[in-house]
Amino acid sequence: MKTTQLSITLILSVILMASCNNRHQRADAYGNFEAVETVISAESNGRILMLTVNEGEVLRAGDTTGLIDTTDLHYRRLQMLAQRRAVAGKASNISAQAEVYRQQKANLMTDKRRIENLLKEEAATPKQFDDISGAIEVIDRQIETVKSQLVNLADELAVIDAQLAQVGEALKRCYIINPVSGTVLNRFAEAGEITAFGKPLYKIADLKTMDLRVYISGDMLSQVKTGQEAEVLIDTPEGPASLTGKVSWISPSAEFTPKIIQTREERVNLVYAVKLSVTNDGSLKISMPAEVNFNK
């Protein structure tokens, strides 16, 4: 009986010692989780009429999240539309006048041919021919003047159309459209506030997949490759939890050991930054620390 108890005691001691050794085994690298954070800013000036985003809310790319007052732009557009109608009306009147001149010229050309025939029969005078030719030249100058006026009005219409397009684009920018899918991290403005172009409204990041940035020494560089899977350990109340990460980027150049490495021996070395892509099951947060074992 005593021999059996002694054997059990020895077995438990070995298990505890192995557990302690595994617990204190150093990881290959240490780092913190990060995500690509996008700050959504206002693209127009004015009062914020609506801003529907809330911190922690998940948004999709293309969602309308707010509206900035469009009153001034709306009235400016109405003014330009009225100007365009007025210019288009002038162009219509001038085009009608041009048709009148063309018809007058056609009539004069008919009279000119008749006078030419009468001159051959000596039934008309050279003065009559000169008068009809002069009248045709006057009509030609009037037609050229009308054409010039139409060109100027066409240029004026083009300018107004460009201004209308510019106002239309400004109206579109009054609608706050979310550009990327992700989770709202911070909200910087409220409905009713006056905003300006470039002023931040909220910050968003895609947290479905997190990047873990760690640093490895030069002697480990040959063991780490892009696309390689590694074990990622995070702290939980029940103890370390294991996740799988994939190396997505390795720095091509060395740098001094970052401040997050605390030991004196490692702080004097040059290291390489490595990013691992880790699927987030909801437990990962920005700046959360983690450990990596490249050889699982």
pLDDT at 194: 96
**For the segment 77-107, what is each residue's pLDDT rounded down to a tens digit?**
999 999 999 999 988 888 888 888 888 888 8
CA 114, 119, 121, 124 dihedral sign is positive
pLDDT score of 69 more than 80: yes
The continuous run of DSSP H or E covering 103 comes out as helix 71-120
3-state SS, residue 225: coil
Over residues 3-25, mean pLDDT: 42
Give the whole-number percent of the chain exceeding pLDDT 70: 86
Over residues 237-265, mean pLDDT: 79
Give the residue from 271, 264, 275 showing the smallest Cα distance to 221: 271
pLDDT at 85: 94
pLDDT at 15: 41
Residues 6+ apart with CB under 8 A from 164: 77, 80, 81, 84
User: At 266, is the pLDDT very low, low, confident or very high (cuts 50, 70, 90)?
Assistant: low
For residue 175, give the DSSP letter.
E
pLDDT at 264: 53
pTM: predicted TM-score of the whole model, two decimal places: 0.70
Q: Each residue of 228-251: b (16+ CB within 10 Å) or e?
A: bebbbbbeeeeeeeebebbbbeee
